Structure 1
Amino acid sequence: MMKLEKREEIFRAALELIAEHGFHGAPMAMIAERAGVGAGTIYRYFENKDVLIAELYREVEDKLSTAIQEGYVTEKPFRERFLHIGTAVLRFFIENPRDFRYLEQFHNSPYGVEHRRDKLQGKKGEGNLFCMLFDEGIYQQVMKDFPLPILFALAFGPLLSVARDHILGFITLDDALIVRTVEACWDGVRR
């Protein structure tokens, strides 16, 4: 196995195991076994488990960011941009259930608290697409004037719930239902 392939296998194994068992239920030895590498091999690529978890998060976040930015046009009307982002987020999650479960665990763990706080306060670069959009919406008075955490909860909280329910098989999201769901999120934050 080539060096890059080993790193990718370690990422894949860590993503699968953490999505299945959580951070504490996925020790490095188990990740190494699933990746088909020796336990010591992981430490050639990642100093420790915390570094692996942070780098895996960045990789998943980059994939999500790429999906969101594909076809995103800053010159389009505000509502269309909001709907684009919401639809891209929801589609990414239902098409990548392991990534979704990983992100949920990350954001709801001590690993994600500081990251999330920085993102909501506009201190992290990529999260700024959301922050800039919401700031613009408040400034243009097309969105309710709430603090960013509340706007995020109103706009994206329902998307997370329906993505989770789709992945668990409680609902089936087709194109029409995705559009209606994202439009309902818009209704929750628009003035």
Structure 2
Amino acid sequence: MSESDKREAIINAALELVAECGFHGAPMAMVAERAGVGAGTIYRYFENKDTLITETYAAFEQRLVAAVMEGYPERKGVRDRYIHLATILIKYFIASPMEFRFAEQFHNSPYGAAHRREKVFGKQEKDICTEIFEDGKGQGIVKDLPLVMLFALTFGPLVDMCRDHILGFIDLNEELSLKAAEACWDAVRQ
């Protein structure tokens, strides 16, 4: 196995184990075993478990952003850009329930709180979500609310619906996904 393959195998194993068992149920030795590498090998790629978790999340986030950016209508209006983003998020999460469960674990942990704090208060580049809502507020078509509230109103319900789909409570087909995205848009439009 090449060096990059080992690193990727470790990240995938960490993602799966955290999704299945939570952070405490995914010790480094178990991650190494699932990845098919020696227990000491994992430390050549990741200093400690915290580094492994944050880099696993970064790898997940890269895949998610790549999916969202494919076909992204950057020249369209704010509503169309949001609807694209929301429907792609739904498709991605229901097609990748393991990644969804990992993201849930991450966001509902101190790792997620630190990540979110950095996004809200840090000096990071603007992401696509921030850009959409700042454009909408600037044009007067999105309610003048703090970004954190806009995210909660538009993405919180989508996450709940994806969870319900994965658990078998609803079937988020294409039509229902679009209606869900439109309903979330309606919550923040002027």
TM-score bracket, normalised by the shorter chain, equals over 0.9
Residues 100 and 124 from structure 1, CA distance in 2 versus in 1: closer, same or farther, beyond 3 angstroms? farther
* 8 Å contact kept, 1:32–1:42: yes
Greater shift after overlay, 131-140 or 1-10?
Answer: 1-10
For the 8 Å contact 2:73–2:80, the answer to whether it is kept is no
Give the conservation status (yes or no) of the 8 Å contact 2:73–2:84.
Answer: no
Q: Which residue pairs with 2:110 in the alignment? A: 110
- What does residue range 62-141 of structure 1 map to in structure 2 within 5 Å? 62-121=62-121, 123-125=123-125, 128-141=127-140
- Trace 1:1-191 onto structure 2 (pairs within 5 A): 1-121=1-121, 123-125=123-125, 128-191=127-190
Q: Quick check: 1:120–1:131 contact (8 Å CA) kept in 2? A: no
Q: Letter of the aligned partner of 1:40 in structure 2?
A: G
Write the letter of the residue equivalent to 2:100. Answer: F
> Residue deviations 1:40-83, cap 9 Å, x none?
01011111111111111110000111111111122101111110
Instruction: Give the Cα–Cα distance (whole angstroms) in 1 for the partners of residues 123 and 115 of structure 2.
Output: 9
Contact 1:119/1:128 (<8 A) preserved: no
TM-score, normalized by length of structure 1? 0.95
Q: If the length of structure 2 is used for normalisation, what is the TM-score? A: 0.95
Displacement of 1:100 after TM fit?
1.1
Contact 1:87 1:182 in 2 (8 A): yes
Runs of 4+ in 1 over 4 A off after TM superposition: none
C-alpha offsets along residues 7-42 of structure 1, whole Å, 9 cap, x if unaligned? 121111111100011111100011111112111010
User: Residues of 1 paired with 2:124 and 2:58: CA distance?
Assistant: 12
The number of residues matched between the two structures is 190
Distance, in Å, in 2 between the alignment partners of 1:61 and 1:141 is 30
Structure-2 change in CA distance of 1:122 and 1:45 (3 Å): closer
